[in-house]
Amino acid sequence: MSDNYTLYNQTVMDHFLNPRNLGDLKDADGVGEVGAAACGDIMKISLKIEDGKIKDARFKTFGCGSAIASSSMATELIKGRSIEEAMSFSNQEVVSALGGLPPVKIHCSVLAEEALKAALEDYLKKHPEMAARVQPKAEAPPA
């Protein structure tokens, strides 16, 4: 028997208790803030983008343990990726990097994906030249 029981696995707990990339980027190139229809949580991701690549990412989250862990993990994963790559980012990647989430908590990782995409959209709106380059991919019909 263990003498320390946790609701989530150790990776999730670690990202919840010691979130990476917490905060706002002062000179962010794209900011996305989304709310979850399901339970009412709110997530905000800001991005620093240079030469078509995500240089830096920060998050703030009003939500449960897995929402905080998901946003922490999502910002870790997307740093260094190109915009095109980031456009096809999926919550599944967050879930596997976290070593799994309880079924009822999968939607919290979806919120992280949505916040990231909202931040990218915000960036592309301000940079139509980039939008033109990535749009064909962005508009590909969903699988």
How many residues bind another protein (CB under 8 A)? The answer is: 30
Please give the structure tokens belonging to residue 115: 């916040």
Say whether residue 69 binds ligand FES (CB under 6 A).
Answer: no
Active site residue 39: yes
Q: Encoding tokens for residue 17? A: 């208790």
Residue 91 Cβ, how far from ligand FES at the closest point, in Å?
12
User: Stretches 12-20, 45-53, 61-69, 87-95: which one binds ligand FES (CB under 6 A)?
Assistant: 61-69
By CB under 6 A, tell whether 67 contacts ligand FES. Answer: yes
44 lines the binding site for ligand FES (CB under 6 A)? no
Three-state DSSP at 23 gives coil
123 forms part of the interface with another protein (CB under 8 A): no
Find the length of the chain. Answer: 143
36 to 75: interface string for another protein, x by CB under 8 A: xxxxxxxxx---------------xxxxxx-xx-------
Q: What is the 3-state secondary structure (H, E, C) of 88-143?
A: CCCHHHHHHHCCCCCHHHHHHHHHHHHHHHHHHHHHHHHCHHHHHHHHHHHCCCCC
Distance between CA atoms of 30 and 103, rounded to whole angstroms? Answer: 31
CA distance linking residue 46 with residue 59, whole number of Å? 6
Dig out the tokens for 139 from the structure: 């508009």
For position 22 contacting another protein by CB under 8 A, the verdict is yes
Q: Is 108 a catalytic residue?
A: yes
Active site residues: 39, 108
Q: Catalog residues that contact another protein under the rule CB under 8 A.
A: 7, 13, 16-17, 19, 22, 24, 33-44, 60-65, 67-68, 104, 107, 114
